[in-house]
Amino acid sequence: MQQHRASDRSWLGWQPTLGGVVGLGFLSACSAKTPARSADSSPDPTTDTGSPDVSAPDEPGPWVVGHTSTALEDVIEPGRTLPIDIWYPAEPGSEAGATPAAYPLLGSIALPSTQAYDGLPVADLDAPLLIFSHGYGGIRIQSTALMEALASHGFVVASAGHTGNTQSAPEDSFDTAASRRVPDVQAVIDWFTSGAAPAADQVDLSRLGVLGHSFGGMTTLGVGAGWAGAPPIDGVGALMPISAVVDDDLQADDRSSSYAGFTAEQLATITQPVLLLGGTEDESVPVENNALAYDWLTGAAAVTRVDIIGANHTHFANVCDIGDLLISLGFEMDSWASLGAGPLIDPYVRTCTGEAFPYAEALRLQNLYAVAFFQLTLGERPEYGWWLTTEAAAEESAVALWSR
């Protein structure tokens, strides 16, 4: 599912690696204890407005979504290029006759979008900018539904492939990959600041957020706290780590590295609002990591923790969309290995079949909380704070929420 050049011959990198958001063939449902909903603090009265009369965060927003693929050269060292996909609010009506986006997998096979269009003109507005970071050995277009949802609600979203730690070329060691993550995010921000990035003229850099899944979630925390030798990034206003490792002992992989987790002292230095999202059936990065982070983020302006009850690690990626596409094209699961997609079989079975938590519901909830959080913190839309309250969470049977 990576935005491959035509010469790339690899598939998805569904190898068992830490957080490889798309690389978790070893996932299985675990018997994580389901936490109770908590009302351990009262929401800010300025944001607790009751269900507001605005575009619901779990539905497409008012903006047409444009998409483009590009690259940023000479990042960290000469010759190191980051491929980047960007989603953005487009001019209303410009989608008429436009080409729907399709995210290449291999050769002529591509994952079609039902919401984004390639090459549309950017809407004339000052949009908040969000930077997304993919998982370990993962791909930059692993969460297209989330990227499109955010863009439809008025955000410009950039997702870079962390060269050296992608599924098609995972040559970096763990420590090298970690040391490059925060600088990669800084490079993308600098690119927008310079005005050279697509949509840069329509971005308000005073409203900047970072989000990521698994190793990308660790990257997100590292942006706020500093990580793997890189300092924190100034000017970032909100952080959303999804299924990030916090305690290096609370993960499926054995990482003998000082960068394999965070300390309470590190997380206490984060001052931005933080939304922690995870699934209670995540065996790769157990949701107890988010419980620790919630306790350790003592300096954050606000912290919300959301557990999706029944979701596992790959509920937050495009596992089911890719598997369903292959099946629709006549590639049954017993043929996936011949395509190089054999490691997709186990997470597809666990996430998309039988008694698994409904994939579409996991994506809906991920979109709901991401849109509400970033609208509240960066979009200057306090009415979206209602969806981050325990009152609103009580209406969602698969959600446990804490906030302070």
In a domain, 213, yes or no: yes
Q: Contact, 32 vs 282, CB < 8 A? A: yes
Residues in the chain: 404
- In 195-344, where does DSSP find H-type helix? 215-225, 264-267, 288-296, 319-328
Task: Write the DSSP symbol of residue 77.
Answer: S
In a domain, 38, yes or no: no
Q: Are strands 127-133 and 156-160 parallel, antiparallel or unpaired?
A: parallel
**Rounded to an integer, what distance in angstroms lies between the CA atom of residue 247 and that of residue 390?**
26
In a domain, 107, yes or no: yes
In a domain, 45, yes or no: no
- In 212-287, where does DSSP find H-type helix? 215-225, 264-267
Residue 50 CB neighbours (<10 A): 10
Structure tokens at 167: 């599924």
**Rounded to an integer, what distance in angstroms lies between the CA atom of residue 397 and that of residue 404?**
21
In a domain, 123, yes or no: yes
Q: What CATH number should be reported for the domain holding residue 147?
A: 3.40.50.1820
Structure tokens at 66: 């444009």
CA quadruple 98, 100, 101, 104: dihedral, nearest 10 = -120
In a domain, 2, yes or no: no
In a domain, 55, yes or no: no
Q: How many domains does the chain have?
A: 1
Domain range holding 246? Answer: 64-403
Phi–psi pair at 192, nearest 5 degrees: -70, -40
Instruction: Print pLDDT tens along the chain (404 aa).
Output: 233 222 222 334 333 333 333 332 222 223 233 333 333 333 343 444 467 888 899 999 999 999 999 999 999 999 999 999 999 999 999 999 999 999 988 778 899 999 999 999 999 999 999 999 999 998 899 999 999 999 999 999 999 999 999 888 899 999 999 999 999 999 999 999 999 999 999 999 999 999 999 999 999 999 999 999 999 999 999 999 999 999 989 898 888 899 999 999 999 999 999 999 999 999 999 999 999 999 999 999 999 999 999 999 999 999 999 999 999 999 999 999 988 888 889 999 999 999 999 999 999 999 999 999 999 999 999 999 999 999 999 999 999 999 99
